[in-house]
Amino acid sequence: MASGSSITRASGQLHRALTEIWRLQPLYVSLYAILLSFIIGGVLISLIGVNPLTAYWALLRGMAGDADRLAGSLARSVPFIGSALALAFAFRAGLFNIGAEGQLLAGGITAAYVGALSWMTNLPGILAIPAILLAGTLGGTIWGGIPGVLRTKTGAHEVISTIMLNSVVLFAARWMVGSRNPVVLRDTDSTVPRTKPISDNAVLPELVDSQPTLHVGLLALVGMCFVVAFVLNRTNFGFEIATVGLNPHAAHYAGINVNRVLVWAMAASGAFAGLAAASEISGTSGHFQPGTFFLMGFDGIAIALLARTKPVAIIAAAVLWGSMLAGAPLMQQEANMSIDVVRIIQALVLLFVAADAIVRYLFRVKDIEQNPFQTSTVGGAI
Amino acid sequence: MTTAQQATATTHTARQFHLDRSTITGLMFGIIGVALIAGVAPAIDNTTRRFNLERPPDPAGIGFNPPTWIIAIGVFYLITAALGIGPQQAQRWASHARVLSALGLVPLVLVLSLALSDKAGTNVVILLSESLFLATPLALGATTGLWSERAGIINIGIEGTMLSSAGVGYMTYALLGEANSTGWLWFSIVIAVLAGGLVAALLAVLSIRFNVNQIVSGVVINLFALGLTGFLRSEVIFRTGNTSGVRTSEIGLPLLSSIPVIGEQLFTSRPIYWMMYLIVFSTWLVMYRTPWGLRVRACGENPHAAETLGINVLRIRYQSVILGGLIAGLAGAWFSMESQGGFEDNMTNAAGFIALAALIFGKWTPWGAFAGALLFGFSRALGTRLQFLGVEVSGFEIPSEFFQSLPFVVTLVVVAGAVGRSVGPAAAGTPFSTSK
């Protein structure tokens, strides 16, 4: 095991450098998890006969090769912030919200509907933009609130009910957007199924004319992360959520209305996803298509776990995630390999973040804080 | 029951008056019954329709008059309602009536949609055999969940386990057997089963060795499966050029398949489907009739008591989760080598989650879970059938998306407690560490 020990010694030295020079203690596990995932991903890439360094170099340039690509990567990350917040917020209350995708869809539908209403054209931007964002948020809130209500009233586990609601809203969206008889939301002038374009006044101002457009939605969602951090750490509601999440019995005993907290936590979760969807509709696409949000909910889970459900850390994790996806096509082009490698690396990151004992063992990281995914009671029995 | 629900249950008992489940469902059936008799029956087409038992031409069948049937079902619903709302003494009958009424939805939907379409009849035997065939991955998936959760490990990763084994199995088939050789097909099915075991082993290591929150570890598995199979499809399967292949062939059961009219349709099917019955039966046999099965159940209910009796809880949990994974592997093989000959991205399409719902529906018992799987298989088959019938309500054809979402709506209704509260193994979800 000579090579094994030299690897651990090398990683030990890396670890010392990070501790003493850059002082990145709280981020260790996440950083090492990312490193380890790229190493394993590299092995996989070389297995199919591609030089991993070529592939990663292309990926890196795809992510941030020039200002335009960087802006595009940031733009790609915006909706992920919302879907990750949706998971993180519910997670604090001990709920596992797998329904961000459905909540994004619901928010997207309502946003696109309100954005295309005829009276919107006469509204100044200062009113039209809040209207479309609010509409999306409301759609997400309702679709997120349903599993909360089901959980408290009937005991239906949110993991199952949110997954089912994802499928239900997906089919509903496909019908509303695709149907010609009767026409529900379909843009009848368009050959592809999509909703009517939203009014020009409701389009979010753009920051950089990149591909996709970087728009003000980024600021809105980044701001939302700070708001959530404040709510969770500094308000009564945040305290109630944390208490319910840690021990619902104790919360009940302390006089907290557990059911109310659970429903509102789910509804607020859905609100973040809805806001993200509205910002996507208003800032990027200008209309709604069901395919836009494919897998975004699952990505949100991974991002939130990578950020250890800390709202501000979500920003960084979402940017990493979104830019990896934005950079993947260039890697596919130059290294001639499937973009699914990025998916595998992302899954590995999640794996190592969740099972941080592997990382701690390999890199000799001390247990300075408990892994939230071991201590948490999230989900409970299904 | 989760801790949060226990807390809510306490608040419920504190309240003096509340509508209980029995009254609510009773009222619900009452409203449906009145609507059927007074609203639906007079409005629908009065011509005779047929439930066919054979393929055309000139099939044997049962003719019926839609309004009469709808009135009959409506009257039965009113009886159910009366029993549900009625006094305490009627409750025993009420619960039986509710189950029958819920089952009555099946003929109701069939009769209604036939009456609303322009087709004269539909083959109900094929519908039944399709339902059973589509229930295969759900029953196997639910059995996976059963083994895992009865041992105390929540398994959200059934979906990912099935998807990985579907992908790995078909990849083996495409690589070695060029997707066209019976010998390699069976070899690949074995590989798929083993792959399922391997993925479940990963879940077990995460949940048992590293004490990761069990739901999180399941989600990890699901994400990983999506990436891995997408990669395998585009990098390996696609490059072999064998993107579609020969699937398992149909086997007719001797004697049974020669029953006149229905035998050939019902008792000729593919091998993994037949194995499903065997697996559900042996799961029941092993879990309830062997010492090892008792140990598994003990580890899921009270691992500390089990440990006191000298059972190695962690080992039993590993064994049980991996056994479940092998079963999920077979379900994966069903997708890529029996239902279709080929692999598509995300081809399991939430079947793993519906299987979990079937498990909840069946209250964590083998036969109950099997019944749940049949229900969902039926709602899938029915969705496709109704789409084919082209049901029209006042000039508008009911969209296919509506029927596609049917299994998911049924799942939602089921987990929301249409069948009464379902309580899982007590220790599921809580990590166990051996006493020193």
Question: Distance (Å, rounded) from C-alpha A288 to C-alpha A107?
Answer: 10
Two tokens, residue A79: 């909706």
Question: Distance (Å, rounded) from C-alpha A209 to C-alpha A298?
Answer: 28
Asked if A164 lies within 8 A of B404 by C-beta distance, the reply is no
Question: Distance (Å, rounded) from C-alpha A14 to C-alpha A360?
Answer: 13
CA dihedral B221, B227, B229, B234 (to 10 degrees): 180
Q: Which residues pair with B123 in a beta bridge?
A: B52
Residue A243: predicted pLDDT: 93
Question: Distance (Å, rounded) from C-alpha A162 to C-alpha A140?
Answer: 12
Whether the predicted pLDDT of B17 surpasses 60: no
Q: Name the nearest CA neighbour of B265 among B277, B257, B253, B273.
A: B257
Contacts of A325 in chain B (CB under 8 A): none
Residue A377: predicted pLDDT: 52
Two tokens, residue A182: 């009767």
Question: Distance (Å, rounded) from C-alpha A236 to C-alpha A257?
Answer: 13
Mutate to test the interface with A, among B219, B232, B384, B387 (most CBs of A within 10 A): B219
Provide the 10 A C-beta neighbour count for residue A301.
26
Nearest-5° Cα angle at A139, A135 to A142: 135
Which H, E and C letters describe A71-138, residue by residue? Answer: HHHHHHHHHHHHHHHHHHHHHHCCCCCCCHHHHHHHHHHHHHHHHCCHHHHHCCHHHHHHHHHHHHHH
Cβ pair A89, A271 in contact under 8 A: no
Contacts of B235 in chain A (CB under 8 A): 48, 337-338, 340
Q: Which whole number is the average pLDDT over B308-335?
A: 96
Q: Which whole number is the average pLDDT over B294-304?
A: 94
Q: Does A377 touch chain B (CB under 8 A)?
A: yes
Which amino acid, B104? G
Mutate to test the interface with B, among A105, A164, A294, A332 (most CBs of B within 10 A): A164
Q: Name the nearest CA neighbour of B362 among B353, B372, B354.
A: B372
Backbone angles phi, psi at A380, to 5 degrees: 65, -160
Residue A369: predicted pLDDT: 56
Whether the predicted pLDDT of B188 surpasses 80: yes
Q: Which whole number is the average pLDDT over A23-30?
A: 69
Could you tell me which residues come within 8 angstroms of residue A27 by beta carbon, excluding any fewer than 6 positions away? none
Two tokens, residue B228: 């891995």
Whether the predicted pLDDT of B77 surpasses 70: yes
Q: Does A304 touch chain B (CB under 8 A)?
A: no
Whether the predicted pLDDT of A378 surpasses 70: no
Q: Which residues pair with A179 in a beta bridge?
A: none
- Using CA coordinates, name the residue in chain B closest to A252: B7
Whether the predicted pLDDT of B9 surpasses 80: no
> DSSP per residue over B273-290, as a string?
HHHHHHHHHHHHHHHHHS
Whether the predicted pLDDT of B292 surpasses 70: yes
Backbone angles phi, psi at A50, to 5 degrees: -115, 140
User: Min CA distance, B160 vs chain A (Å)?
Assistant: 12
- Using CA coordinates, name the residue in chain B closest to A344: B227
Whether the predicted pLDDT of A382 surpasses 60: no
Provide the 10 A C-beta neighbour count for residue B156.
28
**Smallest Cβ distance to B215: which of A151, A357, A379?**
A379
Residue A280 Cα to chain centre, angstroms: 13
**Smallest Cβ distance to B216: which of A150, A248, A305?**
A305
- The predicted complex's ipTM stands at 0.83
DSSP type of residue B90: G
A254-307 pLDDT, tens digit per residue, is 999 999 999 999 999 999 999 999 999 999 888 999 888 988 988 898 899 888
Residue B235: predicted pLDDT: 85
Residue A282: predicted pLDDT: 93
* Element holding B64 (H helix, E strand): strand B61-64
Q: Does B3 touch chain A (CB under 8 A)?
A: yes
Q: What is the mean pLDDT of chain B?
A: 86
Residue A315: predicted pLDDT: 94
**A171 vs A372: which has the higher pLDDT:** A171
* Chains A–B, number of C-beta pairs less than 8 Å apart: 194
Backbone angles phi, psi at B51, to 5 degrees: -95, 110
Residue A33 Cα to chain centre, angstroms: 18
**Smallest Cβ distance to B2: which of A171, A340, A380?**
A380
Two tokens, residue A10: 């090398």
Residue B140: predicted pLDDT: 97
User: Of A23-27, B162-166, B383-387, where does mean pLDDT reach its minimum?
Assistant: A23-27
Backbone angles phi, psi at B123, to 5 degrees: -85, 110
Q: Does A149 touch chain B (CB under 8 A)?
A: no
Contacts of B211 in chain A (CB under 8 A): 374
Mutate to test the interface with A, among B216, B228, B353 (most CBs of A within 10 A): B216
Whether the predicted pLDDT of B10 surpasses 60: no
Residue A370: predicted pLDDT: 56
Residue B56: predicted pLDDT: 72
Contacts of B401 in chain A (CB under 8 A): 171-172, 174-175, 178
Asked if B154 lies within 8 A of A382 by C-beta distance, the reply is yes
**Smallest Cβ distance to A373: which of B212, B401, B402?**
B212
Two tokens, residue A357: 């004992």
Asked if B206 lies within 8 A of A305 by C-beta distance, the reply is no
- Using CA coordinates, name the residue in chain A closest to B220: A351
**Smallest Cβ distance to B210: which of A252, A357, A381?**
A357
**Smallest Cβ distance to A354: which of B11, B206, B417?**
B206
* Element holding B403 (H helix, E strand): helix B400-404
Q: Which whole number is the average pLDDT over B250-273?
A: 84
Cis status, amide bond into A212, omega within 30 of 0: yes
Question: Distance (Å, rounded) from C-alpha A355 to C-alpha A89?
Answer: 21
Contacts of B216 in chain A (CB under 8 A): 305, 354, 373, 378
% of residues, chain B, pLDDT over 90: 38
Whether the predicted pLDDT of A374 surpasses 80: no
Q: Which whole number is the average pLDDT over B150-174?
A: 94
Burial of B233 (0-12, 13-18, 19+ CB in 10 A): buried
CA dihedral B228, B234, B236, B240 (to 10 degrees): 150
Please give the domain boundaries of chain A with CATH numbers for all domains. Answer: 1-50+348-371 (no CATH), 66-336 (1.10.3470)
A103-116 pLDDT, tens digit per residue, is 999 999 999 999 99
Cis status, amide bond into B57, omega within 30 of 0: yes
Radius of gyration of chain A (CA): 22
Asked if B231 lies within 8 A of A373 by C-beta distance, the reply is no
Residues 167-226 of A with CB under 8 A from B: 167-168, 171-172, 174-175, 178-179, 181-182
Q: Name the nearest CA neighbour of B195 among B224, B219, B216, B238.
A: B224
Q: Does A19 touch chain B (CB under 8 A)?
A: no
Q: What is the mean pLDDT of chain A?
A: 87
Two tokens, residue B259: 């029953």
Residues 205-234 of B with CB under 8 A from A: 206, 209-217, 219-220, 222-224, 226-228, 230-231, 233-234
Contacts of A345 in chain B (CB under 8 A): 227
Parallel/antiparallel/unpaired status of strands B49-52 and B121-123 = parallel
User: Min CA distance, A106 vs chain B (Å)?
Assistant: 16
Two tokens, residue B21: 């489940």
B78-90 pLDDT, tens digit per residue, is 998 888 887 777 7
Cβ pair A101, A295 in contact under 8 A: yes
Question: Distance (Å, rounded) from C-alpha B127 to C-alpha B135?
Answer: 12
Q: Which of A66-80, A132-146, B357-371 has the highest mean pLDDT?
A: A132-146
**Smallest Cβ distance to A174: which of B212, B360, B401?**
B401
Asked if B357 lies within 8 A of A373 by C-beta distance, the reply is no
Asked if A165 lies within 8 A of B412 by C-beta distance, the reply is yes
Helices within chain A (DSSP H only)? 2-17, 28-47, 52-64, 67-92, 100-115, 125-154, 158-178, 217-234, 236-246, 248-253, 258-280, 296-306, 311-335, 340-354, 356-363, 372-375
Two tokens, residue B89: 């003494």
Reported as a pLDDT band with limits 50, 70 and 90, residue B297 is: very high
Q: Does B239 touch chain A (CB under 8 A)?
A: no
Nearest-5° Cα angle at A263, B430 to B12: 75
User: What letters, b where the CB count within 10 A reaches 16 and e where it falls short, cover B252-284?
Assistant: eeeeebeeeebbbbbbebbbbbebbeebbeebb
A31-64 pLDDT, tens digit per residue, is 888 899 999 999 988 988 889 999 999 999 989 8
Contacts of B415 in chain A (CB under 8 A): 150, 156-157, 160-161, 164
Contacts of A98 in chain B (CB under 8 A): 219
Cβ pair B329, B193 in contact under 8 A: yes
- Using CA coordinates, name the residue in chain A closest to B418: A154
Question: Distance (Å, rounded) from C-alpha B162 to C-alpha A237?
Answer: 40
**Smallest Cβ distance to B223: which of A174, A248, A350?**
A350
Question: Distance (Å, rounded) from C-alpha A306 to C-alpha A301?
Answer: 9
A179-238 pLDDT, tens digit per residue, is 887 888 888 888 888 999 999 888 888 888 888 889 999 999 999 999 999 999 999 999
Question: Distance (Å, rounded) from C-alpha A137 to C-alpha A159?
Answer: 21
**Smallest Cβ distance to B424: which of A251, A295, A382?**
A382
Q: Which residues pair with A208 in a beta bridge?
A: A214
**Smallest Cβ distance to B356: which of A160, A174, A181?**
A160
- Using CA coordinates, name the residue in chain A closest to B364: A382
Residue B11: predicted pLDDT: 46
Half-sphere exposure of B177 (CA within 13 A, CB side): 24
> DSSP per residue over B131-194, as a string?
HHHHHHHHHHHHHHHHHHHHTT----THHHHHHHHHHHHHHHHHHHSTT--HHHHHHHHHHHHH
Two tokens, residue A258: 């557990």
Question: Distance (Å, rounded) from C-alpha B100 to C-alpha B106?
Answer: 10
Whether the predicted pLDDT of B18 surpasses 60: no
Backbone angles phi, psi at B343, to 5 degrees: -125, 135
Q: Does B350 touch chain A (CB under 8 A)?
A: yes
Provide the 10 A C-beta neighbour count for residue A200.
11
Please give the domain boundaries of chain B with CATH numbers for all domains. Answer: 19-116 (no CATH), 125-418 (1.10.3470)
User: Min CA distance, A307 vs chain B (Å)?
Assistant: 14
Could you tell me which residues come within 8 angstroms of residue A147 by beta carbon, excluding any fewer than 6 positions away? A97, A99, A156, A158, A161, A162, A165, A266
Question: Distance (Å, rounded) from C-alpha A213 to C-alpha A136?
Answer: 19
Whether the predicted pLDDT of B13 surpasses 50: no
User: Min CA distance, B262 vs chain A (Å)?
Assistant: 35
B210-242 pLDDT, tens digit per residue, is 888 888 888 889 888 988 899 899 888 988 888
Asked if B8 lies within 8 A of A152 by C-beta distance, the reply is yes
Residue A379: predicted pLDDT: 52
